[in-house]
Structure 1
């Protein structure tokens, strides 16, 4: 048992000490015993599904529990339970009195059918051990944003609100359609004679081989002006931003070469991470290929892309005909989906847009893995479902996937809590969010910015009956 902690100043040293102390807290309370007011607890356990869970409850619990859904875990990788996005943010929230809980999910990969019930079971286990919370907020990042949104739509009675951070809020079908498009362009324009399959990969070894082959194609293409222009076109079909890693220099608005060089790195990352390996795992779950490009007008898609001007300028510089390459994409044999696989992905991983509790969704504008345009797809669904008043979105001016500061995350959480408490949204503009972030933790950045993403290029949701193959 830990002694009662004194009110603490938010310093890095104090947060580290708090986090370290909590990790040493006791874990053996009986399920029927509530935690005493002067006790901080760290609890780990296992659910009947085999998933593990983690709970941290501070000495002066404020009555709010935060149910954290973690991101995608590659099949075969370690899969520990997680109850927060990072150690610093967790320490800040524990100092403020929040209880933090989360599970590992019973399986890795595209695990939504395990993740949602495991998260709800973790919440039930928390209530059994510590008593019902005054307020429950579901939150998550990356793939965990998809899990969080699924909970928000399908189990709203279990929560009071939700926060998605850099989430796959466009849903599974839209995700895999938009992942197919850039790889289709690469194969068609840069390796038209290749026999590398884009879907229907037999196993992870085949996925690795396909990724390696396409990466070699892209590496070779990057050495010529023509190849670089075509890589930029492929990137544009995924809305890959021109500044997408914090290690990159932010290119000038008309520095087309620097922009393309940044996208080249991201395209290779897409090939290595999602386009083959993660696709293969998801296809096994879905029972077949869940994406298609039959009927897609790639000229129209490019016309809506956030980086279309860069593509046009690079084609002009290379002396290539963009019109001819778009025509080549139109003529190329298309990829058809397995209807049963689409139905599975739609049923488990796509959204109706029907919210009954408030949701706040934040994104970095320089995200190449889950582009900020996914937020446009979410708004499309929520607006069509008549739930727009329950959704607010905000964007952080930073490169990379989920590269939020602790201050930015806590500010988003406080903004959602304010909506839950008052019944009205207050302070969702960039200036107000930055003010909240500075108040939450002045030692880490506050970079919210007024920004409106362009449309998502391949939306699919259950609020639009016309969506389909």
Structure 2
């Protein structure tokens, strides 16, 4: 809070004014302090924890779970998305339920819904760190604070780690970082494959927009004033590709379109509708609400391969060139510098159908270029999931991170896999760590 002072004529008056301002500031802070309300915990932790919620000064919902046998360590969670809906506390509860293994193992938990729906990595990062501050104010300072980011929240948490890892005096706000299934390529690199999907899909399907509807460039996702809903987008995708039908019930033309779209883009069949939703509705938010209507995507020199007629596809697909102003703005918001200062571990399924495993290599390159590779350990699993991997693996990741923080010894992926095997008897779920491809 910034205090304003009346005109000061003498040093005595200055001292009096400063004292008065400080008292007013303290009083205002006390009167506006965020108060948590007791909330019912989800059933999975109801008997072992107390739960609390509040809405912070920015409008974000903050959810807290504190084990009755708290080990005095805290997980600060950055959730995936971004959701395009108005934030609701249920979103934060759902995130805790997905990762309730941490609470069941004695860790306190705090997460934020972020203050609004839609894209915004820096905004979300500020809200995540604010949730940490609110926890400290109401529940005390933990002995250790670990930052966890999942999916889009991996980008958010990586940004938190660059902006808020240390306080103004250089003391740690966090002690370590876990990034799981993360969007770690940064904003300007992470969404190009969905822009490609948008263009390739329209080449084959011609129904977003459909004949007779106003045209618009594919990089927009949708026009700013579009009333198209996710169910309608799904209906159109299914009509074109038959993706909701059993293969035997698809027409020959549906089979051809679907085969070409999936082969060219690398999108998994089960995820096609979801990726089309993100490349329409989320792109509309990103372009029109966050980038002043400018285009951050570029396929002007892209050669598409894998179809039954690559020459025709490359000749007929819509082309677009990125606007440097949009790229710069998106880079400022969501790209990563690699300037990490905390031990950081990542986990990503090789066959993640939502966020490509290749993003891990992008992050490794950025961190290496910043000279911080000694602070990063990355692991791979042979799973096909994204939103939730085997529970034992999360605890193995966290256990290895804690050992790194305690002893200063950087673990290898093999060390993390060994921890996983040791934990299996007490934290069921399985261990599917494999060597990362080079």
Name the TM tier (shorter chain).
0.7 to 0.9
What does residue 67 of structure 1 align with?
76
Q: 1:282 aligns with which of 283, 286, 311?
A: 286
Task: Say whether the 8 Å CA contact 1:44–1:52 is kept in structure 2.
Answer: yes
CA distance 1:407–1:340, change in 2 (3 Å)? same
Q: Residues 71-127 of structure 1, C-alpha deviation per residue, up to 9 Å, x if partnerless?
A: 11532366326278453742x433433221111211122242432112111111222
Higher relative contact order (CA 8 A, sep 6+): 1
How far is the alpha carbon of 1:151 from its aligned partner?
A: 0.7
Alignment partner, residue 405 of structure 1: 390
Partner of 1:87: 97
Q: Does 1:270 align with 2:282?
A: no
Contiguous gaps of at least 5 residues in structure 2: 1-40, 167-172
Q: Which runs of 5+ in 1 are unaligned?
A: 1-14, 26-41, 241-262, 303-310, 454-469
Within the alignment, does 1:97 sit opposite 2:120 as a pair?
no
Residue 235 of structure 1 pairs with residue 262 of structure 2: yes
CA–CA distance in 2 between the matches of 1:98 and 1:397?
A: 27
> Which whole-Å deviations, capped at 9, do the CAs of 1:272-324 have from their partners, x for residues lacking one?
x211011112222222244322443325xx5xxxxxxxx4xxx6xxxx444x2
Give the 5 Å matches for 1:11-90. Answer: 19-22=45-48, 25=50, 42-76=51-85, 79-80=88-89, 82=92, 85-87=95-97, 89-90=99-100
Q: How many Å apart are 1:401 and its aligned residue?
A: 1.9
Query: Quick check: 1:395–1:451 contact (8 Å CA) kept in 2?
Result: yes
Relative to 1, partners in 2 of residues 1:288 and 1:422: Cα closer, same or farther, differing over 3 Å? farther
Secondary structure of 1:163's match?
Answer: strand
Instruction: Work out the CA distance in 2 between the residues paired with 1:393 and 1:290.
Output: 32
Which of 339, 342, 347 is the aligned partner of 2:324? Answer: 339
Change (3 A) 1:101 1:152: same
1:305 counterpart residue number: none
Over aligned residue pairs, what C-alpha RMSD do you find? 3.2
Q: Is 1:362 the equivalent of 2:347? A: yes
Matched, 1:186 2:212: no
- Cα deviation for residue 427 of structure 1 reads 4.6
Residue 205 (str. 1) matches residue 227 (str. 2) = yes
> What are the residue-to-residue correspondences of 1:298-309 with 2, within 5 Å?
298=303
Q: Which protein is bigger by CA-based radius of gyration?
A: 2
- Name the SS of the counterpart of 1:82 in structure 2: helix
**Matched residues in 1 for 2:291 and 2:402: separation?**
36
Tell me if structure 1 keeps the 8 A contact 2:122–2:333: yes
CA–CA separation in structure 1 for the residues paired with 2:98 and 2:114: 23
User: TM-score scaled to structure 1, two decimals?
Assistant: 0.71
